[in-house]
């Protein structure tokens, strides 16, 4: 006989186990609740100006005002999103040479949406395909790829103690990879280490990737915040010139300051299977979010359609890039152990620090960072660097 208990709808959810909270999001709350006036937040991964604000770009404000005036409909656009946006960001990422050939693109909800779509495309093409991921990486990478059903293989990419890129280990791992394996690479401003391959190393990576028939998945979420828009795309373009098949996840969330507007794009090259890959991407997007959120991409398009707004955007982005470099110089001058940060790029570096010392910096000095010792360079200013360096010196003996 069926009892009421046996008929409970709980069976649907009874197998779930609670998931750990996102570490960065938990850190936001801890920081907010800390009453100490001189607390320092180097945890959350957003750009901050010297006043601690994450400003809306002036160029973006102007584009949004214009959009408000000229937009006549909010009718559906379709799963590709805004074609004008896609057309205008493509040359920023790929230039107009061979790196840009044979691509198709779709607008996505941020870089995260692009990464998930890329992972789902790989999974649709080859269920359980292997993806190679350097360690450490943005922690969400492995979660996205695992959710999509891919097999994750890792190699050591950065040594936190010596602050060096483990290039030989990267190349060694990729030489062991099999044709059709995917390789995730941060195109610039590596999160969390700030350590990117140099041009010669990109050439070597491109050679191994092409030679072994691997498919690069290039994640470009910080273009313009390293050495500038063009140099930050140099490695990506070297790889794109070498391969027949590739996926590129682009985010506008940092370099246009759009974060919560969720603006990005996936670019794919599938030279011998273009139509099949393109229509599968559209189908996956249609079933996931139907079409991407419009506002951020429409505003980026308005900026890029207008030379004056484009110029203003570039100036504002460049000012952010210069500020990051100033903080890097200030850190390197404050403690010789921070010297490697001078030559690293982007929003992040990884302190040589143990988890207990990360806790001590928070508990005893009000300095908030993620447990692995990642710091957001933009969380510091010329005024706070001395206190930050003193806290580090107190918690991490030389």
Residue 200 C-alpha from the chain's centroid: 23
Rounded to a whole number of angstroms, the minimum distance from the CB of residue 222 to ligand PMP is: 7
Among 219, 232, 253, 294, the active-site one is: 219
Instruction: Tell me which residue has tokens 């937009």.
Output: 71
User: What tokens appear for 49 in the block?
Assistant: 């100006």
Report in angstroms how near the CB of residue 189 gets to ligand PMP at its nearest: 8
Q: Which is nearer to ligand PMP, 240 or 396 (CB)?
A: 240
The nearer residue to ligand PMP, 194 or 366, going by C-beta atoms, is 194
What are the distances in angstroms from CA 80 to CA 85, 86, 93, 105, 175? 10, 9, 18, 7, 35
Structural contact between residues 385 and 50, judged by C-beta atoms closer than 8 angstroms: no
Tell me the CA distances in angstroms from 374 to 150, 177, 368, one per residue in order. 27, 29, 10
221 classed as catalytic? yes
The half-sphere exposure of 22 on its side-chain side, counting CA atoms within 13 A, is 11
DSSP state of 321: H
| Tokens encoding 70 | 């000229």
Hey, is 28 helix, strand or coil? helix
Among 254, 285, 299, 313, which one carries the catalytic annotation? Answer: 254
254 is catalytic: yes
Helix, strand, coil percentages (3-state) for the chain, rounded to 5, are 50, 15, 35
Instruction: Give the nearer residue to ligand PMP in terms of CB position, either 257 or 330.
Output: 257
Task: Considering the candidates 138, 173, 202, 297, report the single residue annotated as catalytic.
Answer: 138
CA 179 to the chain's CA centroid: 26
Return the bridge partners of 131, or none: 152, 182
Short-list 204, 137, 199, CA closest to 168: 204
Token pair listed for 192: 């969390």
Residue 326: both structure tokens together: 């100033």
* Cβ 11 to ligand PMP shortest distance, Å: 34
Residues 6+ apart with CB under 8 A from 122: 129, 131, 148, 150, 182, 215, 217, 247
The tokens describing 78, both together, are 């379709």
Binding residues (CB under 6 A) for ligand PMP: these are 45, 110-112, 138, 186, 191, 219, 221, 251, 253, 264
Closest CB 113 distance from ligand PMP, rounded Å: 7
Say whether 29 is catalytic. Answer: no
Indicate the residue among 191 and 223 with the shorter CB distance to ligand PMP: 191
Has 393 been annotated as catalytic?
no
Residue closest to ligand PMP, measured at CB: 110
Nearest CB to ligand PMP, comparing residues 112 and 381 = 112
Is 126:340 a contact under the CB 8 Å cutoff? no
- The nearer residue to ligand PMP, 301 or 337, going by C-beta atoms, is 301
In the complex, minimum distance from the CB of residue 242 to ligand PMP, in angstroms, rounded to a whole number: 22
Min CB(57)–ligand PMP separation in Å: 15
**Is the Cβ of residue 163 or residue 193 nearer to ligand PMP in the bound state?**
193
In the chain, what is the straight-line distance between the N-terminal and C-terminal CA atoms, in Å? Answer: 71
Min dist CB 137 to ligand PMP, Å, is 7
Catalytic residue among 221, 233, 298, 299: 221
| Active centre residues (catalytic) | 138, 219, 221, 254
């Amino acid at each position: 006989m069926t009892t009421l208990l046996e008929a409970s709808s709980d069976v649907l959810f009874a197998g779930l186990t609670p998931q750990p909270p996102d570490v960065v999001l938990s850190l936001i709350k801890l920081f907010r609740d800390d009453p100490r006036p001189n607390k320092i937040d180097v945890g959350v991964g957003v750009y901050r100006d010297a006043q601690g604000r994450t400003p809306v770009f002036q160029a973006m404000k102007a584009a949004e005002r214009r959009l408000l005036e000229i937009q006549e409909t909010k009718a559906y656009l379709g799963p590709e999103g805004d074609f004008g946006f896609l057309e205008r960001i493509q040359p920023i990422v790929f230039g107009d040479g061979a790196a840009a050939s044979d691509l198709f693109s779709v607008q996505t909800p941020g870089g995260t949406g692009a990464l998930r779509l890329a992972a789902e495309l790989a999974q649709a093409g080859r269920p359980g395909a292997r993806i190679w991921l350097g360690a450490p990486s943005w922690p969400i990478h492995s979660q996205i790829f695992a959710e999509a059903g891919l097999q994750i293989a890792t190699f050591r990419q950065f040594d936190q103690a010596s602050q060096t890129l483990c290039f030989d280990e990267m190349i060694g791992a990729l030489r062991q990879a099999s044709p059709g394996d995917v390789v995730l690479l941060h195109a610039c401003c590596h999160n969390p280490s700030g350590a990117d391959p140099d041009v010669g190393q990109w050439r070597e990576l491109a050679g191994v990737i092409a030679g072994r028939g691997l498919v690069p998945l290039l994640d470009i979420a910080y273009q313009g915040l390293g050495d500038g828009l063009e140099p930050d795309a140099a490695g990506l373009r070297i790889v794109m010139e070498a391969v027949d098949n590739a996926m590129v996840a682009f985010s506008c969330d940092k370099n246009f300051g759009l974060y919560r507007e969720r603006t990005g794009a996936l670019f794919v090259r599938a030279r011998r299977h273009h139509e099949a890959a393109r229509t599968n991407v559209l189908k996956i997007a249609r079933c996931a979010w139907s079409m991407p959120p419009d506002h951020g991409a429409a505003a980026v398009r308005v900026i890029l359609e207008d030379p004056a707004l484009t110029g203003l955007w570039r100036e504002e982005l460049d000012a952010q890039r210069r500020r990051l470099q100033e903080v890097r110089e200030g850190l390197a001058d404050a403690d010789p152990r921070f010297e490697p940060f001078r030559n690293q790029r982007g929003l992040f570096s990884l302190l040589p620090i143990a988890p207990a010392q990360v806790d001590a910096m928070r508990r005893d000095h009000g300095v908030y960072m993620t447990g692995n010792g990642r710091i957001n360079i933009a969380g510091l200013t010329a005024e706070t660097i001395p206190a930050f360096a003193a806290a580090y010196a107190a918690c991490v003996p030389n």
